């Protein structure tokens, strides 16, 4: 690895598992001090220990991104400890797939609050810091579902279309201030995401049918793409990356 991110500070949400965990590790291995945000404190602390043993620097900050107080505390704690926010990876997300007619409204609410509103609010909290610095990079983890809606992913897809719209609007507002934005759109990645699908029929279709029929991406594949985007020279802004398993149609 290299030290392209030496001296930089990155916040990664959803760092307790999957893509967020791999991204935190990838950024730390390139020299960034990484603030680890998610709800599961034990997982964050275990990751912080791993990063530290590998010679990296990180700070676990237990955070529920549906809570505005937690979001503000995350930004404040980061600034107290490290003085800047150079990279924000908005990665936390839930995928509670259900057909609309059987959907639980609480699941609609949770997807909007975590995948979309949490991302919007944390961006809102971190942006003034980046504006003051005159530089910063906001990476928003969307999905192929942010480009194409399919049966049974209505709520999830709605949040990811929202992420893409929010990100593009933000890009136009702040790009001339030196603040870069990147939308990451993964296809199927083997993580815990599918385990939380509430509809047993859909969950089975994904886990036993779809994922078994392809070679899914691993979290590290997405982390690698994020690391690429945030290590480009300042004049290059990778605005969007769509990454699918080769055998996913």
Q: Binder to ligand NDP among 9, 11, 12, 16 (CB under 6 A)? A: 16
Residues 70-95 as b or e (16 or more Cβ within 10 Å = b): bbeebbebbeeebebbbbbbbbbbbb
> Active-site residue 228, yes or no?
no
Here's the x/- map for ligand NDP, 68-97, by CB under 6 A: it reads as -----------------------xxxxx--
Q: How far is CA 149 from CA 75, 94, 160, 179, in A?
A: 33, 16, 10, 30
In the complex, the smallest distance separating the C-beta of residue 162 from ligand NDP, rounded to whole angstroms, is 12
Residue 64 engages ligand NDP in binding (rule: CB under 6 A): yes
In the complex, the smallest distance separating the C-beta of residue 67 from ligand NDP, rounded to whole angstroms, is 8
Closest CA to 219 of 244, 246, 190: 190
d(CA 41, CA 223): 21
β-bridge mates for residue 126, sequence order: none
Q: Which is nearer to ligand NDP, 15 or 130 (by Cβ)?
A: 15
d(CA 172, CA 63): 29
- By CB under 6 A, the count of residues binding ligand NDP is 30
Residues that bind ligand NDP (CB under 6 A): 13-14, 16-20, 38-40, 63-66, 91-95, 114-115, 141, 143, 186, 188-189, 191-193, 219
Residues classed as catalytic:
156
């Amino acid at each position: 690895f290299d030290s392209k991110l030496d001296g930089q500070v990155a916040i990664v949400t959803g760092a307790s598992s999957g893509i967020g965990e791999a991204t935190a590790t990838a950024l730390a291995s390139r020299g960034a001090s990484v603030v680890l945000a998610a709800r599961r404190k034990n997982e964050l602390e275990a990751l912080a220990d791993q990063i530290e043993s590998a010679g990296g620097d990180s700070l676990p900050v237990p955070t529920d991104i549906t809570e505005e107080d937690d979001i503000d505390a995350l930004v404040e704690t980061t600034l107290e400890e490290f003085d800047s926010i150079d990279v924000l990876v908005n990665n936390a997300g839930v995928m509670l797939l259900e057909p609309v007619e059987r959907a639980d409204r609480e699941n609609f609410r949770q997807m909007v609050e975590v995948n979309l509103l949490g991302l919007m609010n944390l961006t809102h909290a971190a942006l003034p810091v980046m504006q003051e610095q005159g530089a910063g990079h906001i990476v928003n983890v969307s999905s192929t579902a942010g480009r194409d809606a399919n049966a049974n992913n209505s709520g999830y897809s709605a949040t990811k279309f929202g992420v893409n719209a929010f990100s593009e609007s933000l890009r136009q507002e702040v790009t001339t201030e030196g603040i870069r934005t990147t939308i990451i759109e993964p296809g199927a990645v083997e993580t815990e995401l599918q385990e939380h699908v509430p509809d047993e029929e859909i969950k089975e279709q994904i886990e036993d049918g779809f994922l078994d029929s392809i070679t899914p991406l691993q979290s590290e594949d997405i982390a690698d793409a994020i690391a690429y985007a945030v290590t480009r020279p300042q004049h290059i802004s990778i605005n969007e990356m769509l990454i699918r398993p080769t055998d996913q149609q």
